[in-house]
């Protein structure tokens, strides 16, 4: 006989993500409560990510996830009904073994992750606690520094900026709520500066809610953000800048060169270019400076800039413990981006964060460019003590869903919560 905390039923459906593409939403029902979760989807994906199962064919231009939804309703439901809703590891490992492939390509990482996340929420709701408490029950919680993507380029926007993301990081705030206020103020100052200097067309936004001005050069984008920080009354120490180059997207495998800022560059020349940008703009974070297999180039820039800059690996690691281990061996970076859907279960995501922490690296919990209104990652970042959370501009519903959830979490924790900012500045 099932007790009240066992999984009684699992449901799933197709819903739309923020780019208007279908994605998987699942519901896990325990005797006491229900948990609902939906999965995000990337545009600049790492080659080694777990597989996002898409239908192909004509419906939704091939982007349908009816097969993944079918897998939740069929194989996954049959496999997990009866398991304890609060034994996340057992549940996740059951689904991993039902799939049986290294990249979750049989059932789809989107199917498996939706159930994994929904189950964590069902457990929290069954116990009457917030999700972050369910994910980690003890210890002092530290709220992450928001990394807000205020200018979009690369595959996230229709402009000519090769660098994908230009981020503001309010490390000088005294709380997460204050950081979110500072971020919103800088975002609006930037909007005014872009309108007055480049006209109203410059404030159209990209996939993550950041502006997509008609710039070509990395320096133009960073320069206007720096102006916005100062126009908002903040110093460069209080609000740091960062970039996600997503360099695989401007790397040409044939020539071995990167095309950025009007030049085709070798890895070495690109490192020099980043070093100059770092010196000029005091970049606190540089994500994916090189393509996703360039462990040695990553190690070289980390050695050179890593004392004061977080070199973050995203596409190179894809939240995969085996690849992060390789990175640790090679001293490739000093920080790692964490995305649930790159690996496909909550437990494996927790393991990736734990491994990074043990190596002294900085974990950065991240959204995807295609998101839903699900605020799961706000809880994940709080529960596992991520130093940063990257979840887009302080605008657009699917982005602010996460920032607003952090406000609620901080309010719930009151003085019991710290803010990760100060030590990072
Ligand atoms: C990234 C992400 C999120 P995408 O590269 O870090 O900002 O983009 O989801 O398109 O991979
Ligand atoms: Mg990235």
Q: Which residue has the least CA distance to atom 2 on ligand 1?
A: 368
**Which DSSP letter does residue 41 get?**
B
- CA-based nearest residue to 334, from 312, 316, 314, 349: 312
Q: How much is the pLDDT for 107?
A: 98
At 21, is the pLDDT very low, low, confident or very high (cuts 50, 70, 90)?
very high
Q: How much is the pLDDT for 160?
A: 95
Give me the phi and psi of 258, to 5 degrees please.
-105, 130
Ligand 1 nearest atom to the CA of residue 390, by list position:
7
| Separation between Cα atoms, residue 376 and residue 397, nearest integer Å | 14
Which residue is listed with tokens 């462990």?
295
Count of H helices and E strands in the chain? 15, 16
Distance (angstroms) between ligand 2 centre and the Cα of 254 equals 23
- CA-based nearest residue to 112, from 292, 283, 308, 342: 342
Q: How much is the pLDDT for 366?
A: 98
Distance (angstroms) between ligand 1 centre and the Cα of 42 equals 6
pLDDT digits (tens, 9 = 90+) for 109-161: 999 999 999 999 999 999 999 999 999 988 899 999 999 999 999 999 999 99
At 4, is the pLDDT very low, low, confident or very high (cuts 50, 70, 90)?
low
Q: Which residue has the least CA distance to atom 4 on ligand 1?
A: 42
| Span 174-202, average pLDDT | 98
Q: How much is the pLDDT for 136?
A: 93
Inter-residue contact 383 to 139 (CB < 8 Å): no
Ligand 1 nearest atom to the CA of residue 392, by list position:
7
Residue 318: CB within 6 Å of ligand 1? no
| Separation between Cα atoms, residue 259 and residue 71, nearest integer Å | 41
Residue 19: CB within 6 Å of ligand 1? no
Average pLDDT, the chain: 97
Tokens of 44: 């600049």
Contacts of 226 (CB under 8 A, 6+ apart): 236, 241, 281
| Separation between Cα atoms, residue 396 and residue 399, nearest integer Å | 6
Tokens of 168: 């503001």
pLDDT digits (tens, 9 = 90+) for 393-403: 999 999 999 99
At 424, is the pLDDT very low, low, confident or very high (cuts 50, 70, 90)?
confident
Q: Given a cut of 90, is residue 423 above it in pLDDT?
A: no
pLDDT digits (tens, 9 = 90+) for 76-90: 999 999 999 999 999
| Separation between Cα atoms, residue 302 and residue 73, nearest integer Å | 45
Q: Given a cut of 80, is residue 2 above it in pLDDT?
A: no
Ligand number nearest CA of 312 is 2
Residue 366: CB within 6 Å of ligand 1? yes
Contacts of 87 (CB under 8 A, 6+ apart): none
| Span 161-176, average pLDDT | 98
- CA-based nearest residue to 218, from 174, 263, 173, 179: 263
Q: How much is the pLDDT for 138?
A: 81
Residue 30: CB within 6 Å of ligand 1? no
Distance (angstroms) between ligand 2 centre and the Cα of 244 equals 6
Q: Given a cut of 60, is residue 3 above it in pLDDT?
A: no
Q: Given a cut of 50, is residue 205 above it in pLDDT?
A: yes
3 state SS of 79: helix
Higher pLDDT, 408 or 416: 408
pLDDT digits (tens, 9 = 90+) for 346-355: 999 999 999 9
Higher pLDDT, 204 or 139: 204
The pocket of ion ligand 2, defined by CB under 5 A, consists of: 244, 314
Inter-residue contact 338 to 383 (CB < 8 Å): no
Residue 49: CB within 6 Å of ligand 1? no
Domains of the chain: 7-128 (3.30.390.10), 141-424 (3.20.20.120)
Cα 375 versus chain centre, distance: 12
Q: How much is the pLDDT for 70?
A: 98
Q: What angle do CA 80, 322, 249 make, to 5 degrees?
A: 100
Residue 326: CB within 6 Å of ligand 1? no
Tell me what percent of the residues of the chain surpass a pLDDT of 90. Answer: 96
Q: Ligand 1: which of 43, 242, 247 to mutate, most ligand atoms within 8 Å of CB?
A: 43
Q: How many residues does the chain have?
A: 425
Residue 342: CB within 6 Å of ligand 1? no
| Span 20-28, average pLDDT | 98
Q: How much is the pLDDT for 415?
A: 82
Residue by residue, DSSP assigns 294-328 as -HHHHHHHHHHHTTTSEEEESTTTTT-HHHHHHHH
Residue 172: CB within 6 Å of ligand 1? no
| Separation between Cα atoms, residue 90 and residue 67, nearest integer Å | 24
Distance (angstroms) between ligand 2 centre and the Cα of 237 equals 24
pLDDT digits (tens, 9 = 90+) for 319-366: 999 999 999 999 999 999 999 999 999 999 999 999 999 999 999 999
Q: Ligand 1: which of 19, 39, 46, 244 to mutate, most ligand atoms within 8 Å of CB?
A: 244
Residue 314: CB within 6 Å of ligand 1? yes
pLDDT digits (tens, 9 = 90+) for 223-262: 999 999 999 999 999 999 999 999 999 999 999 999 999 9
Ligand number nearest CA of 208 is 1
- CA-based nearest residue to 372, from 396, 394, 339: 396
Distance (angstroms) between ligand 2 centre and the Cα of 6 equals 37
Residue 45: CB within 6 Å of ligand 1? yes
Inter-residue contact 323 to 316 (CB < 8 Å): yes
Residue 198 parent element (H or E): helix 176-198
- Give just the sign of the alpha carbon dihedral 179, 244, 331, 389: positive
Q: Given a cut of 90, is residue 318 above it in pLDDT?
A: yes
Ligand 1 nearest atom to the CA of residue 207, by list position:
10
Q: Ligand 1: which of 369, 371, 399 to mutate, most ligand atoms within 8 Å of CB?
A: 369
Q: How much is the pLDDT for 137?
A: 83
Stated pTM of the model: 0.97
User: Known catalytic residues?
Assistant: 208, 339
Contacts of 276 (CB under 8 A, 6+ apart): none
Which residue is listed with tokens 């993944």?
68
């Amino acid at each position: 006989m099932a007790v009240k905390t066992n999984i009684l039923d699992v449901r799933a459906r197709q819903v739309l993500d923020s780019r208007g593409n279908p994605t998987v939403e699942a519901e896990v029902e325990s005797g006491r409560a229900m948990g609902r979760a939906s999965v995000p989807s990337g545009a600049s994906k790492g080659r080694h990510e777990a597989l996002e199962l898409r239908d192909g064919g004509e419906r939704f231009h091939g982007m349908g996830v009816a097969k993944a939804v079918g897998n939740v309703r069929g194989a996954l439901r049959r496999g997990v009904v009866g398991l304890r809703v609060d034994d996340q590891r057992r549940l996740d490992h059951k689904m991993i073994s039902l799939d049986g492939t290294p990249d979750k390509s049989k059932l789809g990482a989107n199917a498996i992750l939706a159930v994994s996340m929904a189950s964590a929420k069902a457990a929290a709701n069954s116990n009457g606690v917030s999700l972050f408490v369910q994910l980690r029950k003890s210890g002092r919680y530290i709220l992450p520094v928001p990394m807000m993507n205020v200018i979009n380029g690369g595959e996230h926007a229709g402009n000519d900026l090769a660098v994908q993301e230009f981020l503001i990081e309010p490390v000088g705030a005294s709380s997460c709520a204050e950081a979110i206020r500072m971020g919103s103020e800088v975002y609006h100052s930037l909007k005014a500066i872009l309108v007055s200097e480049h006209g109203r067309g410059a404030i159209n936004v990209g996939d993550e809610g950041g502006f997509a001005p008609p710039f070509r050069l990395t320096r133009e984008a960073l320069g206007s953000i720096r102006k916005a920080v100062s126009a908002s009354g903040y110093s460069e120490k209080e609000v740091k800048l960062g970039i996600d180059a997503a360099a695989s997207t401007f790397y040409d495998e044939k020539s071995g060169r990167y095309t950025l800022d009007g030049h085709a560059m070798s890895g070495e020349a690109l490192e020099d270019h980043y070093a100059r940008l770092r010196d000029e703009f005091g970049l606190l974070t540089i994500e994916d400076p090189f393509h996703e297999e360039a462990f040695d180039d990553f190690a070289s820039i980390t050695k050179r800039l890593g004392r004061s800059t977080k070199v973050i690996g995203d596409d190179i690691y894809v939240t995969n413990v085996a690849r992060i281990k390789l990175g640790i061996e090679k001293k490739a970076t000093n920080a790692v981006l964490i995305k649930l859907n790159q690996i496909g279960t909550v437990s494996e995501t927790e393991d990736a964060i734990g491994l990074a922490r043990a190596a002294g690296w900085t974990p950065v919990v991240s959204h995807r460019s295609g998101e839903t209104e699900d605020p799961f990652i706000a809880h994940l970042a709080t529960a596992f003590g991520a130093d940063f959370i990257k979840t887009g501009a302080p605008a657009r519903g699917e982005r602010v869903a996460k920032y607003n959830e952090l406000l609620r979490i901080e309010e719930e924790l009151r003085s019991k919560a710290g803010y990760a900012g100060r030590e990072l500045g």
